[in-house]
Amino acid sequence: MGTIPSETIEQIAAANDIVEVIGAYFPLKRAGANFKALCPFHQEKTPSFTVSPSRQTFHCFGCGAGGSVFRFVMDYEHIDFPLAVRKLAARAGITVVEKSRGGGVDDEERQRELRQRLLKLHSETAHWFHENLIKREVGDAARKYLRARGTTVEIAKRWQLGYAPNEWEAFGNWARGRGYEVRDLIMSGLVKMKEDSDSTTSRPSASAPRTPMDREQAAHATPSYDRFRGRIMFPIHNDIGEVIAFSGRLLQDEEGAAKYLNSPETALFRKGSVLFGLDKSKRALIEANCAVVCEGQLDLISLFEAGITNVVAPQGTAFTERQARILKRFVNEVVLCFDADAAGQKAAERSLDALLQNDLIVRVAEMPVGEDPDSLVRREGKENFGRRIASARDFFDYWIERETANVDLASFGSKIQLARRLAETVSRVRDPLMRGEVISKVSARLGVAAPDFQALVSQQRSAERYSSREHPPDTDSASAMAPAPRHDVAMLCILALRDETARDFLRQQNWREILADVPDAELLVRILESDLRPDDSASLNAFMVTLSPADERLVSSWLLQKIPANAGAMVEKWWLGIRQSVLRRQLSIATNQIKLPELSTGDIINLQKQILDLQEQLHELSQPAGAADN
Ligand SMILES: [Zn+2]
């Protein structure tokens, strides 16, 4: 990957108004010179998330999140810096030309263009599937099925449900007719090559009587066929609402065919990193600080439509580490609503590791046998279902009960075996407080001494530390604001960031030399050595992208502070203070040194000179000379 020149960063920042960019994700309300909203990065009841149109930055006074327009897109969409830059560049129609580090540029550009084409294809395909379901004869049976399940036309429209006809090439023909190339269709995963066909033996009867000869000919004409056939289609969105994949539910159960089929991994879609429904439920998740997790898309839609909107569904059956990490940004607690059958319980248990490692509190709402969230919420309504969620049991209670149900606790051998198994799971709880609580609960239930069980857990934990992890845990530096430097340094930082005159004054001083003796001045040095222009918000954004997230948060808070009108005089006063403190420090070092035994006469003379010199400088500085007396 190449590097993006800072002029380009500045150009992109200038072309993307931060109020418009953030306003496209959620509504902002004007509040004086700024805009406000409920913070998307923490849970709150009154808005402390502030966007400054003049500074072109954002900052949350509740959780400290803040920074440039790039930082917002990175944090909100959970993407890395280069991708955020490209997204904003595309939004403004700017081409990013990267300084090449060896020929990778063309590849990246090609990849970006492919993603763009695939996004367009997915969006149009979702529309086509939807029209099949809503308007066309081919969707009759699917319409009936959904109606029988209580899915109204309005719901189908809101979730853009669709239907993939039960034919081999209906989609492929339509897409080619729209000008899409077969190569892109294959890259999208929506059509498959005939060669890697996995189901030639189970062609649906509608187009059945084909001889091998026919097939041969067909293969030459169109070497591909539709992946999704005879399925109700659920578009899968990324969390900003773009369609990036599909999940198809078989309309008529068919032997040997999976009930649910998802898009394969593509340039747009990484399995295990998308949560179905998140684009719609984000706000509700933050407000409830709790996510209701169900298995299927239809379950999720029914709950959401019934008014339980803090819902997500993992794509597939169990939570991945990546999904759990995404979820942790929105909530602290998860209620698993998996089916009571064995498969549902397996899914719940498999989800556990990823959830615990991300310090999520996990509870389980057991569905009565034969029911799923979809059927249950229809039958008993929002209130009753809500009560089930509220009274969902702690995962460990649920799970201890299940595990001990089939074990004879009177037998020492089986008790020890069970304790080992439980210790392994408990060891995955990362948070020490939560772990302690679980340990005392489990040991009490098993009838073993807590310290003994604790020892088993510790064994597991140290064993695990050696096994490699798929992802290192997020470091705290990403979510914390850097501590502000001491007050005088912070004041100079603010002035150097915000006021042209103050900045010019400081840059004319021998600031490098003096600040080298000031503890805590690294950020001030970076501010002074950068070529940012205080009145140019794009250059402020370009400067912020060079900082660590923690420093960026701090800078974004400074950018929102009021600055006094007489910045020019202020800066001289604060700078004077810094110089005096540096001299006083040097003076105290020298006066300590001169007391040391075994100094040569030369050393003593030098130190005496130095002390006199420092005293003189201090004296000069404290004279009320010229403009610095204010
Ligand atoms: Zn916040």
The length of the chain in residues reads 630
Distance between Cα 41 and ligand 1 center (Å): 5
Q: How far is the CA of 393 from the centre of ligand 1 (A)?
A: 30
Q: Is the dihedral of CA 528, 530, 536, 539 positive or negative?
A: negative
Residue 555 has pLDDT above 90, yes or no: yes
Q: What was the pLDDT predicted at 339?
A: 75
Neighbour count for residue 430 (Cβ, 10 Å)? 14
Query: Looking at residue 119, what is its pLDDT?
Result: 94
Q: Given this model, what pLDDT does residue 479 score?
A: 55
Give yes or no for residue 244 having a pLDDT over 90.
Answer: yes
- The DSSP output letter for 480 is S
Q: Tell me the C-alpha distance between 402 and 409, whole Å.
A: 13
Q: Does 564 have pLDDT greater than 90?
A: no
Angle between helices 500-508 and 487-498 (to 10 degrees): 120
Predicted pLDDT of residue 463? 62
* CA dist., res. 228 & res. 426, Å (int): 41
* pLDDT at res. 476: 37
Say if residues 243 and 274 touch (Cβ distance below 8 Å): no
Distance 22 CA to ligand 1 centre (A): 14
Measured in Å, residue 29 CA sits from the centre of ligand 1 at: 16
**In the predicted model, is pLDDT for residue 186 greater than 80?**
yes
Percent of the chain scoring above 70 in pLDDT: 89
Query: Is pLDDT at 208 greater than 70 in this prediction?
Result: no
* The pLDDT value given to residue 102: 53
Q: How much is the pLDDT for 419? A: 86
* Ligand 1 centroid – CA 470 distance (Å): 29
Query: How many angstroms separate the CA atoms of 247 and 230, rounded?
Result: 12
> What's the pLDDT at 628?
41
Whole-number Å distance, alpha carbon 628 to ligand 1 midpoint, is 40
User: If you average pLDDT over each of 125-129, 199-203, 250-254, 595-599, which comes out highest?
Assistant: 125-129
C-alpha to C-alpha distance for 134 and 611, rounded to whole angstroms: 89
Lowest mean pLDDT, pick from 405-409, 547-551, 601-605: 405-409
Distance 531 CA to ligand 1 centre (A): 30
Q: What is the CA(487)–ligand 1 centre distance, in A?
A: 24
Cβ neighbours of 193 (radius 10 Å) = 12
Distance 330 CA to ligand 1 centre (A): 11
What pLDDT does residue 71 have? 95
50: CA distance to ligand 1 center in Å?
9
Q: What are 69-93's pLDDT values in tens digits?
A: 999 999 888 778 888 998 899 888 8
Which pLDDT score, from 0 to 100, does residue 310 have? Answer: 95
pLDDT (0 to 100) of residue 475: 36
- Are 225 and 266 in contact, with CB atoms under 8 Å apart? no
Ligand 1 geometric centre to CA of 9 (Å): 26
Per DSSP, 201 falls in state: G
Q: Give the Å distance between the CA of 21 and the centre of ligand 1.
A: 18
pLDDT of residue 464: 55
- Strand 333-337 and strand 393-394: the pairing is unpaired
Distance CA 276, CA 257 (A): 22
Q: Measured in angstroms, how far is the CA atom of residue 559 from the centroid of ligand 1?
A: 16
CA of 557 to the centre of ligand 1 (A): 12
Return the pLDDT at 472.
37
User: What is the distance between the alpha carbons of residues 359 and 432, in angstroms, rounded to a whole number?
Assistant: 10
The encoded tokens of residue 488 equal 């005088």
Query: What are the angstrom distances between the C-alpha of 528 and each of 303, 509, 524?
Result: 54, 11, 6
Q: Looking at residues 275-294, what average pLDDT do you find?
A: 89
How confident is residue 104, by pLDDT bands cut at 50, 70 and 90?
Answer: low
Higher pLDDT, 349 or 244: 244
Mean pLDDT taken over the chain? 84
User: If residue 35 lies in a helix (H) or strand (E), which one and from where to where?
Assistant: strand 34-37
Place 204 in a pLDDT band, splitting at 50, 70 and 90: very low
What angle, 0 to 180 degrees and rounded to 10, lies between the N-to-C axes of helices 549-559 and 522-529? Answer: 70
Query: Which residue in 207, 268, 257, 270 sits closest to 227, CA to CA?
Result: 257
600 vs 361: CA distance, rounded Å: 68
Find all residues with CB under 8 Å of 498, minimum gap 6, and list them. 534, 558, 559, 563, 567
The string of DSSP letters for 565-595 reads TTHHHHHHHHHHHHHHHHHHHHHHHHHHHTT
pLDDT in tens, 481-491: 777 788 889 88
Tracing tokens 């056939």 back to the chain, one arrives at 229
Per-residue pLDDT, 477: 36
CA of 40 to the centre of ligand 1 (A): 6
Is pTM beyond 0.75? Reply is no
Q: Which residues contact 44 (CB under 8 A, 6 or more apart)?
A: 38, 62
For 150-170, write each residue's pLDDT tens digit: 899 999 999 999 999 999 999
Residue 363 scores a pLDDT above 50:
yes
b vs e for 87-116, b when ≥16 Cβ sit within 10 Å of the residue's Cβ? bbbeeeebebebeeeeeebeebeeebebbe
pLDDT of residue 399: 78
Q: 62 C-alpha vs ligand 1 centroid, how far in Å?
A: 5
Question: In Å, how far from its chain's centre is CA 66?
Answer: 15
Which tokens belong to 2? Answer: 């190449």
Question: In angstroms, what is the span from residue 44 Cα to ligand 1's centroid?
Answer: 8
> What values do phi and psi take at 333, rounded to 5?
-135, 145
pLDDT at 586: 85
- For the chain, percent of residues with pLDDT exceeding 90: 38
Q: Is the pLDDT of residue 625 over 60?
A: no
Structural contact between residues 142 and 130, judged by C-beta atoms closer than 8 angstroms: no
pLDDT value for 197: 46
Q: What is the pLDDT of residue 221?
A: 53
Per-residue pLDDT band for 99 (boundaries 50, 70, 90) equals low
Q: How many angstroms is it from 204 CA to the middle of ligand 1?
A: 53
Residue that wins the pLDDT comparison between 194 and 535: 535
Asked whether the beta carbons of 162 and 142 are under 8 A apart, the reply is no
pLDDT in tens, 210-238: 444 444 444 445 578 999 999 999 999 98
pLDDT given for residue 417 in this prediction: 82
Report the separation in Å between the CA atom of 42 and the middle of ligand 1, taken as the mean of its atom positions. 5
How many whole angstroms from 360 Cα to the centroid of ligand 1? 19
Selected residue with higher pLDDT from 36 and 241 = 36
- The residue type of 223 is P
Distance CA 274, CA 292 (A): 16
Q: What is the pLDDT of residues 436-483, one digit of tens each?
A: 888 888 888 888 888 888 888 887 766 655 443 333 333 333 456 777
CA 28 to ligand 1 center in whole angstroms = 14
Structure tokens at 154: 């309005």
Q: How confident is the model at residue 541 (pLDDT cuts 50, 70, 90)?
A: very high
Q: Is 115 helix (H, G, I), strand (E, B) or coil?
A: helix
- Per-residue model confidence (pLDDT) at position 209: 40
Structure tokens at 230: 């005879």
Q: How confident is the model at residue 630 (pLDDT cuts 50, 70, 90)?
A: very low
Q: How far is the CA of 93 from the centre of ligand 1 (A)?
A: 30
- Give the β-pairing of 224-226 and 361-364: unpaired
Stretch (H or E) spanning 247: strand 243-250
Two structure tokens written together for 146 = 């959904």
C-alpha of residue 23 to centroid of ligand 1, in Å: 16
97 has pLDDT over 60: yes
* pLDDT above 90 for 550: no
Distance 242 CA to ligand 1 centre (A): 25
Distance 550 CA to ligand 1 centre (A): 14
Tell which wins on pLDDT, 324 or 405.
324
Nearest-CA neighbor of 329 among 122, 36, 43, 82?
43
Residue 98 has what pLDDT? Answer: 66
What is the C-alpha to C-alpha distance for residues 436 and 396, in angstroms, rounded to an integer? 13
Measured in Å, residue 586 CA sits from the centre of ligand 1 at: 42
The mean pLDDT of 195-199, rounded to a whole number, is 51
State the pLDDT confidence band at 65, using cuts at 50, 70 and 90: very high
